[in-house]
Chain A
Amino acid sequence: MTILEMLTIFFATVGVAFILLASFGVLRLPDIYTRVHAVGKAGTLGVIGVLFGVGFYFGSLLVLAKMLALIGFFLLTSPVAAHMVGRAAYLTKVKAMPSNAPDELAGRYDEQRRLL
């Protein structure tokens, strides 16, 4: 096994572990606001890990550059998507779990313009 294959296996294993963690969190966490945390952070890290694995495997600079561009895209867009889902849930008044008692955002949203 060459050094590039070992690097690939390392990064891909880390990424798949994070993806498994994110999917476990989405399945087991109690409400939408905590599930969005699992999607936005662990899911992004998992995909980025696997993409790093692909970038190192071929040993070519073009593939690594493409993967770095894709990693930048995921880092920019995935948290934005998770935030938009959480915001849509709050605006449609989805209930949080009961132990999340003080809702400090309550009453501070302008319902018409949807701004703080």
Chain B
Amino acid sequence: MSLFETIIAVLMAITSVSLVMTTIRLLIGPTIPDRAAALDLVMGHVAALVALYVIFVRQEILIDALIVIAILGFLGTVAVARYIEEGRS
């Protein structure tokens, strides 16, 4: 691996560790809005990981997947937030 690929791989490793930290909050979060906020950040991590993977394998066809992930993340968070609001006593 060249130096560039090594640096990108290290960045992917740091993002994975950060994803684990966010997943801990997703699992232990005391309230449901905590989990919703953590889920939003998890989708951000997934988008960043896919973006770094696009750089790593040099396949620019894969960046269309980024658009799908961005839309899915936003729609999922909005759906969960609306669900919390409507479901109150």
Report yes or no: B44 in contact with A13, Cβ–Cβ below 8 A: no
Complex: A90 Cα to B5 Cα, angstroms = 45
Report yes or no: B18 in contact with A82, Cβ–Cβ below 8 A: no
* Chain A neighbourhood of B7, CB < 8 A: 9, 13
Among A20, A22, A78, A89, which residue has its beta carbon within 8 angstroms of that of B31?
A89
* Given the contacts A5-B4, A88-B36, A39 and B41 also touching, CB distance less than 8 Å: yes
Report yes or no: A92 in contact with B45, Cβ–Cβ below 8 A: no
* Chain A neighbourhood of B22, CB < 8 A: 23, 26-27
Tell me the number of A-to-B contacts counted with CB atoms below 8 Å.
156
Report yes or no: A20 in contact with B81, Cβ–Cβ below 8 A: no
Report yes or no: A23 in contact with B37, Cβ–Cβ below 8 A: no
Main secondary structure of the interface of B (DSSP, over half): helix
Report yes or no: B14 in contact with A88, Cβ–Cβ below 8 A: no
* Chain A neighbourhood of B71, CB < 8 A: 73
* Chain A neighbourhood of B25, CB < 8 A: 26-27, 35
Report yes or no: B52 in contact with A12, Cβ–Cβ below 8 A: yes
Closest to B64 in A: A66
* Given the contacts A23-B21, A67-B63, A86-B33, A50 and B14 also touching, CB distance less than 8 Å: no
5 A-B contacts, Cβ less than 8 Å apart?
Answer: A13-B11, A16-B52, A88-B36, A89-B84, A91-B88
Which chain B residues have a beta carbon within 8 Å of chain A's beta carbons? 3-4, 7-8, 11, 14-15, 17-19, 21-22, 24-25, 31-34, 36-38, 40-41, 44-45, 47-48, 51-52, 54-55, 60, 63, 66-67, 70-71, 73-74, 77-78, 80-82, 84-85, 88
Taking A22-B44, A51-B47, A114-B85 as known contacts, 16 extra A-B pairs with beta carbons closer than 8 A to each other, sorted by chain A number, are A9-B8, A16-B48, A20-B14, A20-B15, A23-B41, A24-B21, A39-B40, A43-B40, A44-B44, A60-B60, A77-B70, A78-B44, A81-B78, A84-B77, A88-B36, A91-B85
